[in-house]
């Protein structure tokens, strides 16, 4: 090999092409420099000119070549020839696949209504506006997504409190931040960099997390809370702020609703009582409350799902978000700022037409969505999609109307509790289509499987809160016969929604339609391979709510939710009340006698994200077998050591895994990582263990027992 043979020059035929990594969708998208020779990626580096990654890559991005060139890639469209789940398929052409899908979908629409066909989005997320438009242009209201157990419950908590989303204003002179159940060092390198800079600038960090993580290591105060008791901790902090008279009285009087009721309610949550509930020492609760209330401006950094994946999840997050109103930090520079969405759920400092694009047909012209009857608050506050947790019950019962077909993009039946029930429901469908890169366990249940390409093989638009946007070009041609998800959607539109000429026109015309008025077009974006600053950015500005009113029924920040007041007959509390997790020592003491440990799942490891990197050799080698984290204290009590095999059991089911003894885990808590087909932890959580307001599965708190095998 010649020296420097991989550096591009005139003789070796190597060129660098720029794109983005979307393995950690949706909040990161680090830039990639791909070294290409003869149409093949031979080396991967970070792009220093792209603001999200700034030239760095995590273990997942570094393994891009193994991900793209994985031998498990689906090479052609496939038609099932064996029993569902057998994995037996025959190759067919794209034209055959499109015609068969169209024939079935149009038949079901004629016989059972367009609502009998479900359009589902898993990972990744860039194509979602297009898939939602296809769903509605076809006439179905049933666009669903994995957000049904991820971000949207947090968004509902935002809307019930402020009427809109708010994000911490790190660049606005913030002096104190609570990082609540988030570990961006494993999930979002860009956000981790923000924390590093904040520490250098002297920002006080309060981190709430039952685990020890790289984020907690940066904390000035680490509140090691028992899973599912976050609401009690927030109320105890409010108790201190109110009773020590360090809350923002002027802000509360002028801009909030329901304070007197809230004030009375939190009196029962003294730091001492909260210590009994949460395990956090009372003196630390007082210190955190005083620091946050008096070190202003202050903000709260949350994560998409950890707090809301609980049987009291929405109320727990409302309790947390109420601290911003109590301290006068919402809609303040350096505190929490209004964050309108530009594309997907990213605030890119521009206003696009994505909402108009994705909603091609008025809701009034379609049937009731899946989940609307079960979750009326979801129906009222979430336009984006129906609630997918109701999907398996809806398929099996056939009520209120039959569901005959599903087309899923990156779908994973293991996203739901009682995951085997979802798999059984898919088997009962008349027709199931799956679009993916790999022949996953979900794809094996399909009648037609379509091969999608990776992000480096397609064009993709993304934006960031820094006022930066990119539209990539394919760095390599799609492998085999794979295609971009958007190309698949636009082609399928010609068969099942032929009247939607815009959607059928393809990626570039539709993206230009969405971006019209922003000063950006695909052609202009393509001139900037590493991305470009947004023209005439709409800067994040304070006083959007304080001067013009909050987008709540009262027009104020609501300690008492007027939306939830309408549904008190369903048992919803208008105050952000705390209730112990349904399955916990406090919530189910009799069950806890036999199942003494708290099972927590959903936390990330740095080399995995959901199920997508288990099949990649580099990343999988870092933890090749499913393993549960338990504390050294618990390991001694159980008589187990590193690498022993154990059985984790709940009243519903059991799995067998290895033990990983680590101080990361809080005593009494078992952390099990999700997505393993050979040890599916979600099968241990019963469907009824969920948040009543949103239906979110309670993945963060379940009772279990451990037995050495």
CB 347 within 8 A of CB 466: no
Q: Are residues 306 and 198 in the same domain?
A: yes
Q: What is the pLDDT of residue 195?
A: 95
Q: Are residues 382 and 320 in the same domain?
A: no
Q: Are residues 63 and 85 in the same domain?
A: no
Which residue, 282, 314, 338, sits at the end of a domain? 338
Q: How far apart are CA 350 and CA 340, in angstroms?
A: 9
Q: Are residues 324 and 185 in the same domain?
A: yes
- Pick from 708, 703, 656: nearest CA to 680: 656
Bridge partner residues of 658 (DSSP)? 627, 645
Q: Are residues 431 and 364 in the same domain?
A: yes
Which residue, 338, 369, 391, sits at the end of a domain? 338
Q: What is the pLDDT of residue 187?
A: 85
Q: How far apart are CA 23 and CA 613, in angstroms?
A: 9
Q: Say if 311 falls within a structural domain.
A: yes
CB 126 within 8 A of CB 352: no
Q: Are residues 283 and 175 in the same domain?
A: yes
b/e sequence 435-444, b meaning 16+ C-beta within 10 Å: bbbbbbbbbb
Q: Are residues 21 and 170 in the same domain?
A: no
Q: Are residues 649 and 616 in the same domain?
A: yes
Which residues are CB-contacts of 254 (< 8 A; sequence separation ≥ 6)?
none
Q: How far apart are CA 349 and CA 340, in angstroms?
A: 8
DSSP states along 185-216 = HHH-HHHHHHHHHHHHTT-EEEEE-SS--HHH
Q: How far apart are CA 646 and CA 640, in angstroms?
A: 8
Q: Are residues 146 and 182 in the same domain?
A: no
Q: What is the pLDDT of residue 6?
A: 60
- Pick from 117, 191, 333, 242: nearest CA to 559: 242
CB 130 within 8 A of CB 26: no
Q: Say if 577 falls within a structural domain.
A: no
Q: Say if 542 falls within a structural domain.
A: no
Q: How far apart are CA 539 and CA 466, in angstroms?
A: 9
Q: How far apart are CA 270 and CA 47, in angstroms?
A: 50
In this structure, how many other beta carbons lie within 10 angstroms of the beta carbon of residue 657?
A: 22
Q: What is the pLDDT of residue 1?
A: 36
Residue 197, both tokens: 């800079």
Q: How far apart are CA 215 and CA 11, in angstroms?
A: 46
Q: How far apart are CA 259 and CA 249, in angstroms?
A: 10
**Separation of first and last alpha carbons in the chain:** 51
Q: Say if 504 falls within a structural domain.
A: yes
Supply the CATH number for residue 22's domain.
3.30.200.210
Residue 34, both tokens: 């791909």
- Backbone phi, psi, residue 505, to 5°: -75, -15
Q: Are residues 666 and 687 in the same domain?
A: yes
Supply the CATH number for residue 647's domain.
2.40.40.20
Query: What is the domain extent for residue 278?
Result: 166-338
Q: Say if 384 falls within a structural domain.
A: yes
Q: Say if 561 falls within a structural domain.
A: no
Q: Are residues 401 and 492 in the same domain?
A: yes
Q: Are residues 186 and 43 in the same domain?
A: no
How many CA atoms lie less than 13 Å away from 388 in the CB half-sphere?
30
Supply the CATH number for residue 222's domain.
3.40.228.10
Supply the pTM of this predicted model. Answer: 0.96
The three-state secondary structure class of 602 is coil
Q: Say if 407 falls within a structural domain.
A: yes
Which residue, 338, 353, 382, sits at the end of a domain? 338
How many domains does the chain divide into? Answer: 4
- Pick from 650, 594, 703: nearest CA to 227: 703
pLDDT digits (tens, 9 = 90+) for 292-310: 999 999 999 999 889 999 9
Q: How far apart are CA 87 and CA 512, in angstroms?
A: 40
- Pick from 198, 208, 176: nearest CA to 279: 208
Asked whether the CA dihedral 577, 157, 371, 229 is positive or negative, the reply is: negative
Supply the CATH number for residue 106's domain.
3.40.50.740
Q: How far apart are CA 630 and CA 625, in angstroms?
A: 16
Q: Say if 196 falls within a structural domain.
A: yes
Low-confidence ranges of the chain (pLDDT < 70): 1-6, 25-26
Q: How far is CA 67 from CA 351, 424, 536, in A?
A: 34, 29, 37
């Amino acid at each position: 090999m010649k020296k420097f043979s991989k550096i591009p020059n005139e003789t070796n035929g190597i060129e660098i092409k720029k794109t983005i990594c979307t393995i950690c969708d949706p909040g990161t998208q680090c830039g990639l420099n791909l070294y290409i020779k003869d149409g093949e990626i031979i080396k991967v580096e970070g792009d220093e000119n792209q603001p999200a990654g700034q030239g760095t890559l995590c273990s997942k991005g570094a393994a891009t070549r193994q991900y793209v060139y994985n031998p498990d890639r689906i090479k052609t469209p496939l038609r099932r020839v064996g029993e569902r789940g057998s994995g037996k398929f025959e190759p067919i052409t794209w034209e055959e696949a499109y015609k068969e899908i169209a024939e079935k979908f149009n038949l079901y629409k004629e016989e059972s209504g367009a609502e009998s066909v479900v359009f589902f989005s898993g990972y990744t997320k860039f194509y979602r506006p297009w898939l939602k438009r296809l769903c509605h242009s076809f006439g179905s209201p049933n666009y669903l997504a994995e957000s049904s157990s991820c971000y949207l419950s947090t968004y509902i908590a935002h809307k019930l409190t402020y009427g809109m989303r708010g994000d911490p204003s790190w660049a606005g002179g913030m002096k104190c931040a609570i990082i609540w159940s988030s570990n961006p060092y494993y999930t979002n390198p860009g956000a981790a960099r923000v924390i590093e800079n904040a520490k250098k600038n002297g920002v006080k960090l309060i981190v709430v997390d039952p685990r020890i993580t790289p984020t907690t290591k940066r904390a000035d105060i680490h509140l090691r809370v028992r899973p599912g008791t976050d609401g009690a901790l927030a109320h105890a902090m409010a108790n201190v702020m109110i009773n020590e008279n360090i809350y923002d009285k002027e802000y509360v009087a002028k801009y909030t609703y329901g304070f007197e009721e809230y004030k009375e309610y939190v009196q029962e949550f003294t730091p001492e009582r909260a210590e009994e509930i949460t395990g956090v020492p009372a003196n630390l609760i007082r210190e955190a409350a005083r620091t946050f209330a008096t070190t202003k401006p202050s903000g709260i950094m949350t994560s998409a799902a950890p707090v809301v994946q609980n049987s009291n999840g929405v109320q727990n997050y409302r309790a947390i978000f109420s601290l911003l109103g109590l301290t006068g930090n919402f809609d303040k520079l350096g505190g929490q700022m209004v964050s309108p969405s530009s594309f997907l759920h990213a605030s890119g400092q521009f206003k696009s037409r994505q909402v108009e694009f994705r909603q091609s047909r008025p809701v009034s012209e379609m049937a009731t969505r899946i989940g609307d009857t079960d979750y009326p608050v979801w129906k009222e506050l979430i336009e984006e999609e129906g609630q997918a947790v109701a999907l398996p019950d809806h398929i099996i019962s056939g009520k209120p109307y039959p569901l005959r077909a599903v087309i899923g993009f990156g779908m994973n039946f293991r996203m739901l509790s009682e995951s085997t029930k979802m798999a059984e429901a898919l088997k009962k469908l008349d027709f199931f289509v799956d679009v993916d890169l790999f022949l996953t366990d979900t794809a094996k249940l399909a009648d037609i499987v379509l091969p999608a390409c990776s992000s480096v093989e397609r064009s993709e638009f993304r934006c960031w809160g820094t006022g930066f946007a990119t539209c990539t070009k394919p760095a390599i041609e799609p492998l085999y016969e794979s295609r971009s998800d958007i190309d698949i959607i636009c082609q399928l539109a010609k068969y099942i929604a032929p009247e939607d000429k815009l959607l059928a026109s393809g990626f570039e015309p539709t993206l230009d339609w969405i971006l019209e008025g922003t000063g950006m077009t695909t052609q202009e974006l393509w001139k900037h391979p590493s991305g470009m600053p947004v023209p005439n950015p709409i800067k994040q500005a304070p006083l959007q709510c304080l001067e013009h009113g909050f987008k709540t029924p009262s027009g104020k920040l609501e300690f008492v939710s007027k939306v939830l007041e309408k549904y008190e007959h369903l048992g919803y509390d208008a105050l952000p009340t705390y209730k112990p997790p349904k399955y916990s020592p406090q919530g189910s003491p009799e069950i806890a006698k036999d199942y003494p440990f708290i099972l927590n799942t959903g936390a990330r490891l740095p080399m995995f994200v959901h199920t997508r990197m288990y099949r990649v050799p580099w990343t999988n080698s870092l933890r090749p077998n499913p393993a549960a984290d338990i504390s050294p204290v618990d390991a001694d009590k159980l008589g187990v050591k590193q690498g022993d095999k154990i059985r984790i059991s709940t009243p519903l089911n059991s799995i067998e895994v290895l033990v990983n003894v680590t101080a990361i885990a809080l005593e009494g808590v078992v952390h099990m990582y999700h997505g393993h087909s050979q040890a599916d932890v979600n099968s241990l959580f019963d469907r009824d263990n969920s948040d009543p307001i949103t239906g979110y599965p309670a993945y963060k708190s379940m009772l279990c027992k451990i037995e050495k095998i």
